[in-house]
Structure 1
Amino acid sequence: MADNNVKAMIGKVFNDIAHAMETGQFGQKVRVGITTYGSELGIENVVQGAEIAQNRDSSIEVVLIGPKVDSSLTQVVAEGEEEVYSKMEELLDKGEIDACVTMHYNFPIGVSTVGRVVTPGKGKEMFIATTTGTSATNRVEAMIKNGINGIITAKSMGIEDPTVGILNVDGARQVEKAFKDLNDKGYNINFVESSRSDGGVVMRGNDLLLGVPDVMITDTLTGNILMKVFSSYTTGGSYESQGYGYGPGIGQDYDRVVLILSRASGSPVVANAINYGANLIKGNVKNIVKEEFKKANEAGLKSILEALNKDSKKSTEPQEEITPPPAETVTETISGIDIMDLDDAVANLWQKNIYAETGMGCTGPVVMVNENKLNEAIRILADAGYNVGDKDPC
């Protein structure tokens, strides 16, 4: 019996040493939470993915957040989505978990997620920047920030000098010009050439399939569609079987590491997303966010973005500044409003003495209001001519 105990102790020491060499954290595992509510495929699918992630990497500890289930994984019991998200945020803010994977999350404007896929052409991994959330309400400004978010994520995953391409969507040439200005002023961007014969940093569909850049910059709604196609093109769309999910929310002043999955993500993607989150923590993603935005700002990012916004407002009349009413808790969301109209919709509600904020729901941008003001807010926005899609389905 004594011999067995000694052998067990020796085994544990060697495991701890191996873990310390890998992560730099002796005796301390990376803790990644996963919320189990919200999947269209059921809680069992999420738990199975979590167990796969745990079994493949002994340097992490996976924490289930949701109703009690039959699993050997660490569990934090919470009932209902509201309690689950409240508990998730509490665990993150207290440092009891390092990162969390969830089905849906209302990121603030300024934060967007960087997806990670395996491209079918050559089986190469590629980061899609970005896939959910909103980096800015100006399209070109958002794509510039998306690109920086993608570079941050790639570097956090161990790619020291990631190659960057810009998908050929509306605004791509303006993004290219802004990035070349940043590059000339000291923020190094490793542009890659398209695989097509005419080359260039603006990428085409072929480059998507081949995974030509490490980081593919696009607008968020296009990125969201691309993620769905790359994740489920072999299954018909009802089950996402490939890739690593929609990735971490990245923003200049954002401190939580929250990764997003689709409600149709199968257990293989759930597992990959958890390991993605753990590796971001091991790669010091929070520090890299600060470092990259500091370097970009020193290279003139702020002035570039200010010029973009100034140009976009040249054709509009000056707006009277509107003071918001006293702040309230905003838990209800209104969808359907175009992102370019989002700030104006909020200002419209402020004028009617209804406190509101902008946000991002599972179907796109949302206006967030107090639950007691929801119906009145919907009526006001509809009367003002906004395309209101009622309460956000998430």
Structure 2
Amino acid sequence: MSDKRIKTLIADTFLEVADALETGQYGKKPVIGFASEGSEHGEDNIKRAMELAAYKGLDARLIEGEDIHKEMEKLLDSGEIDAAVTMHYPFPIGVSTVGKVITPGIGKPMYLATTTGTSDTDRIAGMVKNAIYGIIAAKADGIENPTVGIANIDGARQTEKALLKLKEQGYDINFAESARADGGIVMRGNDLLAGTPDIMVMDSLTGNLMMKIFSAYTTGGSYESLGFGYGPGIGDGYDRLIMIVSRASGAPVIAGAMEFATNLVKHNWKKIADDEFAKAKKAGFEAIIDELKNAGKKEAAPAAAVTAPPKEICTAQIPGIEVMDLEDAVQALWKEGIYAESGMGCTGPIVLMAADKKDKAYEILKNAGYVG
């Protein structure tokens, strides 16, 4: 063996030991794949992101191929990579992403729960789930007992009541206190800027807006230069660690997303997620969600059951459907013999179907008033 190769092995060993001392784990570095569908800032931005990741000591690898997401999923499922960063991914309903920003008040990190995807088709139920997702992301990123606040938006008080009930029934939530004089769990705009809570709970559309503002407020909006991206997709039973950035994300944010992913892998994010969901369910989480979704529903004649057609591989998608109409749109296609699934794309809710059924599916949905 050459002297150069021996020196390289020795250096790698020392790096592994140093990493083990820092994290309490010993072994191979987490491998983070990057599936880039095309940055708005060109190939140089991608190259710079990979260089920054290497500078941070991360094991980041580009994912290439004709169907880049299919290749990404293959690498994740085979264990060749531990996590992936990508600029767009259609998560299923029930999965949404927890972003991580640096707040401008005192430079404190804060988790935005959530920023893309849809946790639930019911807005309030979704926000309650987002609180759990945020706790999972923060704990998996190394914060032992993160504080939780609720952004002062529509549905904040209903979310507060549900989370307080969950705590009373045994799920340990460490609520933050607003920095404003009247305090409380519900956070004001000042708390957003100061990063008062570790986790700020909101719906994903508001979170997406907040993410873009925090990431690009210093650049005029065209280049996301700050933070760690839109975060990991989290949901009960969801096994893939897929991190989202946007096409406007600059190299520092892409590299930050890779660093975020590495931390999640090192802290065994999946075990933390499973443990948190189990503890929440033990405290009556599912009953609380059902209660929220059933609240205010009018008495109505039961709809006729619709049986799904034989399952097909869904590679085509139709966007532009209101999230509250999503499941009805899927069933409208089932009635016409077209197998379909609901999902969430980067622009909002989508219905997925086989490519050869897309045109017919579009006409059905258009005639039913689901798309324009």
TM range (shorter): over 0.9
Question: What are the ranges of 5 or more consecutive residues in structure 2 without an aligned counterpart?
Answer: none
Contact 1:101 1:261 in 2 (8 A): yes
Paired-residue identity, %: 55
Alignment partner, residue 43 of structure 2? 43
Residues 1:148 and 2:132 aligned together:
yes
Contact 1:36 1:47 in 2 (8 A): no
Shift of 1:203: 1.2
Question: What is the distance in 2 between the residues matched to 1:315 and 1:206?
Answer: 42
Question: What is the distance in 1 between the residues matched to 2:354 and 2:4?
Answer: 61
Question: What is the distance in 2 between the residues matched to 1:2 and 1:264?
Answer: 45
Change beyond 3 A, Cα 1:320–1:46: same
Which residues in structure 2 correspond to 1:310-325 (within 5 Å)?
310-325=294-309
Alignment partner, residue 212 of structure 1? 196
Alignment partner, residue 257 of structure 1? 241
Alignment partner, residue 296 of structure 1? 280
SS in 1 for 2:61: strand
Alignment partner, residue 321 of structure 2? 337
Read off the aligned partner of 2:62 and give its amino acid letter: L
Alignment partner, residue 55 of structure 1? 55
Shift of 1:364: 0.5
Read off the aligned partner of 2:29 and give its amino acid letter: K
SS in 1 for 2:22: helix
Change beyond 3 A, Cα 1:268–1:367: same
Alignment partner, residue 73 of structure 1? none
Question: What is the distance in 2 between the residues matched to 1:139 and 1:65?
Answer: 35
Change beyond 3 A, Cα 1:350–1:160: same
Alignment partner, residue 19 of structure 1? 19
SS in 2 for 1:100: strand
Shift of 1:2: 8.6
Q: Which moved more, 1:219-228 or 1:47-56?
A: 47-56
Question: What is the distance in 2 between the residues matched to 1:114 and 1:87?
Answer: 24
SS in 2 for 1:343: helix
SS in 1 for 2:159: helix
Question: What is the distance in 1 between the residues matched to 2:117 and 2:9?
Answer: 47
Match of 1:355 among 333, 339, 357: 339
1:340-361 alpha-carbon deviations (Å, 9 max, x no partner): 1111111111111111110001
Change beyond 3 A, Cα 1:371–1:5: closer
Shift of 1:150: 0.2
Change beyond 3 A, Cα 1:8–1:362: closer
Question: What is the distance in 2 between the residues matched to 1:8 and 1:105?
Answer: 37
Alignment partner, residue 30 of structure 2? 30
Change beyond 3 A, Cα 1:355–1:13: closer
| TM-score with structure 1 setting the length | 0.90
Residues 1:167 and 2:165 aligned together:
no
Shift of 1:234: 1.4
Matched pairs, number: 372
Read off the aligned partner of 1:65 and give its amino acid letter: I
Alignment partner, residue 391 of structure 1? none
| TM-score with structure 2 setting the length | 0.96
Contact 1:36 1:43 in 2 (8 A): no
Contact 2:142 2:263 in 1 (8 A): no
Residues 1:64 and 2:48 aligned together:
no
Contact 1:50 1:274 in 2 (8 A): no
